[in-house]
Amino acid sequence: MLIELQNITKTYGPIAALSDLTVSVPEGAIGLLGPNGAGKTTMIRTLLGLISLDHGSGQVLGRDIRSQRLDIRQLVGFAPEDECLFPSTVGVEFVAYAGELGGMGRKDALQRAHEVLDYVGLGEARYRKVDSYSTGMKQRLKLGSAIVHDPKLVILDEPTNGMDPAGRDEVLELARDLSRNKGMSLLFSSHLLPDVEAVCDHVMVMGRGKLLAQGKITDLKERHDREFEIRVKGDQTLFSQALNDRGINAQLDDERIRVILKDAQGPADIWRTALESGEQIRSLKPRQSTLEEVFFHAVAEAV
């Protein structure tokens, strides 16, 4: 297991940041979701051994979060959400320094910094001062400094915050590549559900310091037996109207028609309507919940 936490409780005065949290996460790319104040950041700090816990125990990569904190941090790379860069340093120095803090010799750290900056696409900007970097470049620099020591687990805290679409795609592409092709596990904390869905295959939803939902994204996205998504060759609006005329609840949703069947109805009624209206159905499939629905459902249940 990548992460195993048992009954973790962490309070700050009257506020319970983590409340009897028990979670077990396999290796791979894990999305960490939750509204503000859900306990995501506290959980990340718990995994890194940065905070003292009130109660509970756990392991990250098989190391105890209480007694083997330094070992865990040696195996983990962390790219924080905040813009935490020294303004007067150049890119390669910044990444090399991160390597040195991880125990690399100066020469090794510099060499590795050059390699990593090439990998994250900052090879051309390596000798530029980091305060001249764009937001996307800064995020990639933080990612570079997080992986300079070749960690087993990379934790990315809101890595696409405030980025333009192109920069966001680059960071997501890098995160995907690290988890799928480079053998690193990934803990991807984000508010942006499409980003999590684009990178992760497993997700944890947190709220009020508790685990609300967890599992493979494909498993969490429920298949609905009585809800279908239809695309037709002709006019979607006309066919939607034809379905409604037949007593089938049909709504236009973007380029598709979403259909909700009543108990007495079946898919055959849809085919029959198409036959009668002379329409050609291009696609008819049971509707799956989106990650957004999974998230809101989990959060709503907890309230």
Query: Which residues contact another protein (rule: CB under 8 A)?
Result: 12, 15, 17, 41-42, 45, 48, 50-52, 70-71, 73-74, 76, 78, 80, 82-89, 97-98, 100-106, 108, 112, 115-116, 118-121, 123, 145, 147, 149-150, 170, 173-174, 177-178, 182-183
DSSP 8-state secondary structure symbol assigned to residue 245: H
Residue 88 or 280: which CB sits closer to another protein?
Answer: 88
DSSP 8-state secondary structure symbol assigned to residue 125: G
Euclidean distance between CA atoms 256 and 275, whole angstroms = 18
Residue 45 or 297: which CB sits closer to another protein?
Answer: 45
Residue 35 or 234: which CB sits closer to another protein?
Answer: 35
CB 89 to another protein: min, Å? 8
- DSSP codes, 215-247: EEHHHHSPEEEEEEEEEESS-HHHHHHHHHHTT
Q: 170-196 burial, b if ≥16 CB within 10 A, otherwise e?
A: bbbebbbebbeeeebbbbbbbebbebb
CB 82 to another protein: min, Å? 4
CB 299 to another protein: min, Å? 19
Residue 27 or 222: which CB sits closer to another protein?
Answer: 27
Torsions phi, psi of 120, nearest 5? -85, 5
Euclidean distance between CA atoms 1 and 4, whole angstroms = 7
Residue 167 or 239: which CB sits closer to another protein?
Answer: 167
Euclidean distance between CA atoms 118 and 140, whole angstroms = 11
CB 1 to another protein: min, Å? 22
Residue 82 or 254: which CB sits closer to another protein?
Answer: 82
CB 64 to another protein: min, Å? 15
CB 153 to another protein: min, Å? 12
